[in-house]
Structure 1
């Protein structure tokens, strides 16, 4: 998300002599060409296509990641050490209790819910019928900021156990060749729902 205009319309900047399909990707708006001369400390990793701001680096947290680190009261690097990157708000959990829920992975593989000084790890929501555990009263193991700071390996082990279980349920779309969560997979077409919607006639 662009820190200037707030739009999610930024693309990576490619520096150096363009090679291969760099020009084609730039014309399609997938990347921006940053030129051949790079001054230390003056290069940005992204450019906003809406307002033109060149900003950030790949190691900067997103707004959601910064919010999650703030809720946990830890530095972003501590969050990455224990739970990895790629955190974003979980849309299906809005309005579900007081906990703030975030997911990571594409498709989503792990969820973390934060309430006060506590957080719990869970599988992402896959339908409206299931609910996340309450970080204060649920039966799942709960963690604190101290666990994240002083025992990140324990938090990471539990996170990986949940994520790997979720990954085992993924199916491969025969059209786009991407892993697909089971709730977004149309078994009769062996494809993801997005491809079936886009290329429905091809499956008849």
Structure 2
């Protein structure tokens, strides 16, 4: 069974416009899949497996739609802002893009990729820049029109994507080196969400009994 079940983040149903779609699973289901289906976390697509089948079903309107390779709503928005096709975005910038909460007074459209977030792209007019994700609410960073560093355009994505991809990976690689491993959930955690004294992430600490009591 696939790892991601339940409502798919940023997967907007093309019929009703709601973000309430769950994965469709094909083949003969076992008891675990039946339980997930009863809880509304997956849909059962039937035992017949074919080449082209819908990947999601909307719990609100029951439309079966899409494929896992389709862009999410945020990825589609980034694609539109850059003025290219989605495969061009994947080639130059990769996948997994989602909107980053904007800083006050920032008119740049920021998106982040990776879990935890590893690299950010900011789009303003015909230009975009690559940067580290924000790690605190009061942080700021230069956008495409104010940066002293490299900035890119649609033509870079279309005609010479490799320098863009290399720049994105350099930022992501540096960010990953700062990650810490939570001793409780054993997952990589961004340093701003990690308590070094406890060796655990903030999420795990929020559900654990107070170790000091």
Fold shared by both chains (TM-score > 0.5): yes
Matched position secondary structure for 1:114: strand
Mark the CA change 1:33 to 1:169 in structure 2 (over 3 Å): closer, same or farther: same
Aligned equivalent of 2:197: 188
- Name 2:134's counterpart in structure 1: 125
1:122-175, Cα deviation, whole Å (9 max, x unpaired): 000001232121211211210011111111110000000000100111111111
Taking the aligned partners of 1:159 and 1:44, their CA distance within structure 2 comes to 32
What corresponds to 1:27 in structure 2? 38
For 1:86 and 1:96, the matched residues in 2 are separated by 26
User: What is the CA–CA distance in structure 1 between the aligned matches of 2:141 and 2:61, rounded to whole Å?
Assistant: 38
Gap regions ≥5 residues in structure 2: 1-10
Aligned match of 1:37: 48
Structure 1 length-normalised TM: 0.90
Q: Please report the RMSD computed on the Cα atoms of aligned residues, expressed in angstroms.
A: 1.9
Query: Judging changes above 3 Å, is the alpha-carbon distance between structure 1 residues 191 and 7 closer, same or farther for their aligned structure 2 residues?
Result: farther
Higher helix fraction (1 or 2): 1
| Change over 3 Å in CA distance of 1:164–1:20 after alignment to 2 | farther
**TM-score, with length taken from structure 2:** 0.87
Over 3 Å counting, the alpha-carbon distance change for 1:203 and 1:141 in structure 2 is: farther
Change in Cα spacing, 1:105 to 1:118, as seen in structure 2 (3 Å) is same
- Name the structure 2 match of 1:85: 95
| In 2: Cα distance, 1:24 partner to 1:98 partner | 45
1:201 positional shift? 3.9
Between Structure 1 and Structure 2, how many residues are aligned?
Answer: 202
| CA drift at 1:54 | 1.6
The answer to whether the 8 A contact 2:79-2:89 is kept is: yes
Matched, 1:11 2:11: no
